[in-house]
Amino acid sequence: MAAHPTIGVEEEFLLVDPGTGEPVALNRAVAEHAAAEGVDLQLELTSCQVETATKVSSSLAEVHEQLVRLRSVAAQAADHSGARLLAVGVPPTVPHEFPITDNPRYHRIAERFGMVASEQGVCGAHVHVAVPTREAAVRVSNRLRPWLPLLLAVTANSAIYRNADSRYASWRHMLWARWPSAGPPPHFESADEYDAIVAMMQRSGAMLDDGMVYWDVRPSANFPTIEVRVADVPATIADTVLFTALVRGTVMTALDDERSRAGLPHLSPHALRAAYWRSARDGLDGDAVDLVESHQPVPARELLDRLVERIEPALAAVGDRDLVREGLARLDDEGNGALRQRASWRRRHEVLDVIEDAATATLAGVSGQRK
């Protein structure tokens, strides 16, 4: 098994009005308050969002410690600015608008892509895993494609949208898929082919620049990593840590498979698209499509167990096996974000119940906060 690759995590959050739960355009004020506490928040496309980023880490214990601090400081900065921080994939309320952050590049994106940009306001999570080369990153991307829908199902956290049950576990995925450069990456024969397709998409206008490579897996443009971007922002810190463990284990297994020249199952674009739709709809509370063996629907939780079994040597090598087992037991007991949102909604069909429970989950495990 390969040496322990380093990891890093980015999380996007929604800023909402504490009383109504509607998105509020306060990202600059929140970032200024966070900066005073030593935390740099990234301003996203819409001004109702901020993003945190951990430092490069060797262990999940380090990631967990950083996520606790980042969520805590971001939540306090939101509070000081008159907002509330939510780890949700989409706004549960009916949003009036998503003002574009005042930034020249974001304005160019808004001008070119119109309502796709102005109706954005979705929050995801990205995990970086160190890889030896860009060529290795592209090869790993090919091997991760069959598992991407399942990773989406695990993190689904956007069931309630516009004061209603969307009937999807990840409505964020459905909205995000409107970007011409989003979704699963193609199969690439080499890094040169990857670069050629990115260049073609920029010439066509489908991408403004390299920063708009929105595929769910991509070689990082700035770091020697592969970046897995398929997830809704997880509801809790514990959910994010579990997702990070699964991603690193899957990347490590893909690297070993590439070194041993293990076979790669044929995967048609139509099968992958169908699997994405099923995972976005059902999340963990239903079926997922087995893209490795049968191409048939199977219970999502069963397919997750198969993935964990497949990557167990990698999990053991980096000391994550027990953490993943405990995380799976917690998912069975508590559910992921989408299941929690639906449980909140079904109590009274009041969106403020969803907001309140999501705010609590966002800071679960932070000192002084209840779970």
pLDDT tens-digit series, residues 64-77? 999 999 999 999 99
Q: What angle do CA 63, 67, 71 make, to 5 degrees?
A: 175
Q: Token match 């219970």: residue?
A: 299
pLDDT tens-digit series, residues 165-200? 999 999 999 999 999 999 999 999 999 999 999 999
Which of 159, 45, 161, 48 lies closest to 94 in space, CA to CA?
A: 161
Would you state the CATH architecture of domain 7-362? Answer: 2-Layer Sandwich (3.30)
371 confidence band (pLDDT: 50, 70, 90): very low
- The pTM assigned to this predicted structure is 0.96
**How is residue 31 written in tokens?**
């970032």
Please give the pLDDT value at position 265: 81
pLDDT tens-digit series, residues 288-300? 999 999 899 999 9
Strand bridging mode 214-215 / 182-183: parallel
Q: Token match 């964020």: residue?
A: 172
- Please say if the pLDDT value at position 3 is more than 90: no
- Please say if the pLDDT value at position 55 is more than 80: yes
Identify the helix (H) or strand (E) that includes residue 53.
Answer: strand 49-53
For the chain, what is the mean pLDDT?
95
Q: Token match 């090919």: residue?
A: 142
Tell me the domain boundaries of the chain.
Answer: 7-362
| Contact (CB, 8 A) for 45 and 66 | no
- Please say if the pLDDT value at position 31 is more than 60: yes
Task: Output Rg (C-alpha) for the chain, integer angstroms.
Answer: 19
The amino acid at residue 73 is V
92 DSSP β-pair partners = none
pLDDT tens-digit series, residues 210-226? 999 999 999 987 788 99
Average pLDDT estimate for 88-115:
92
Please give the pLDDT value at position 370: 45
Average pLDDT estimate for 149-170:
97
Strand bridging mode 84-86 / 7-16: antiparallel
